[in-house]
Structure 1
Amino acid sequence: MKPLHAAALLLAAALVGCAVPEWQKPGTPQAEVERAMGRPTQTEPLPGGGERLLYSRQPAGQQVYHMDFDAQRRLVRVTQVLTLENFQALRNGVDTRDSVRRMFGPPALVEKVARFHGDILTYRILDNGEPRQAHVHVDPAGVVRRVMFTDERLRDPDPHR
């Protein structure tokens, strides 16, 4: 068997086992979703006895999915939450490191800079198909102080063009 053919077969076999969050249907039992999707990045209790499974594609990907289940452990909805609007909705002085982590999961990167005393939680997002980064500034007490956005350069432009 040629190496290229073998690699194509391995890729096809791997893709067959991949589950896509958006393809999960409401009403599907939680155990079935977890079997298809694998272990979630984190879980959070929901009001009324439900549970949220959070599946993150950070640090390389630009999606974080909330998969919400009711008290009977049936899928209610799937939501991709790494959006510009969700980061813009964060409240300076009110939201905390914990509330950010519950909403978005672990960041792609935690940084420090000289002009801010605290951590900067960086998440990779897509904004209308364009790669961007959301930077959430969290002070030493764990309170969100600022949210900033930058474009993400995935590759340097060709200097010979």
Structure 2
Amino acid sequence: MRLHWPSTFVVAAGLLLAGCASEPTRIAPGTTAAETLQRLGAPTGRYPLTGGGERLQYSRMPAGYEVTDIDVDASGKVVSVTQVLSEARFGHDIKVDQWRQNDVLAFYGRPYETSRVSSFDGVVWTWRYKAVNERRMLYIYIDPTGVVRRYHTGDDLELDRVRD
């Protein structure tokens, strides 16, 4: 079989560009919501924003480590693109004793898993993320009334358990 290098290169470059086009963090402010949806496809979540805009959420859960929130204003233009699973942001973003379950969903999307622990009356929602290429977990504790009561981070030991 004879390879045609220029054709092979064009196909490879096209695949590379297609991968970049589907990367949520590459959407620039000012892009229209329609262009964003065309480039990225259907979001994993859509949430109304105060003031008439909308959040388009692209989550890589449960297998991935990123959740990207793309906020669109009332005129249909992207105003911000944020990868929200970042240790540097948690202390600023998470509103303990203020956020309700719906606020958590609108910010982080569906969790990787939910669980219960004996030391807390409620449910613990968990997301996977990376910090300097280390696998980590974000745990948000939601009480029976749906209010966020605390959060913390920890190491993701999932692969360690599988290896044992």
CA 1:36–1:146 in 2, change beyond 3 Å: closer, same or farther? same
1:123 aligns with 2:131: no
SS of the aligned residue for 2:47 comes to strand
| Alpha-carbon separation, structure 1, partners of 2:77 and 2:95 | 32
Residue aligning to 1:41: 44
Match of residue 23 from structure 1: 26
Root-mean-square deviation (CA, aligned residues, Å) is 2.7
How many residue pairs match? The answer is 151
Can you give the 5+ residue segments of structure 2 that lack an aligned partner in the other structure? 2-11
Report if the CA contact (8 A) 1:57-1:63 is conserved. Answer: yes
Q: Pairwise mapping of residues 46-125 of structure 1 onto structure 2 (< 5 A)? A: 46-89=49-92, 90-125=94-129
Deviation of residue 76 (structure 1)? 2.0
Counterpart check, 1:149 vs 2:153: yes
Q: Secondary structure at the match of 1:117?
A: coil
TM-score, with length taken from structure 2? 0.79
The separation in 1 between residues aligned to 2:96 and 2:76, in whole angstroms, is: 34
TM-score (norm 1): 0.80
Cα contact 1:88–1:147 (8 A) shared by 2: no
The one-letter code sitting in structure 2 at the alignment partner of 1:38 is G
Percent identity of paired positions between Structure 1 and Structure 2: 38
1:99 alignment partner, SS class:
helix
CA pair 76-137 structure 1, distance change in 2 beyond 3 A: same
Deviating beyond 4 angstroms after TM superposition, the runs of 4 or more aligned structure 1 residues are 12-16
The answer to which structure has the higher helix fraction is 2
Q: Distance in 2 between matches of 1:132 and 1:91?
A: 20
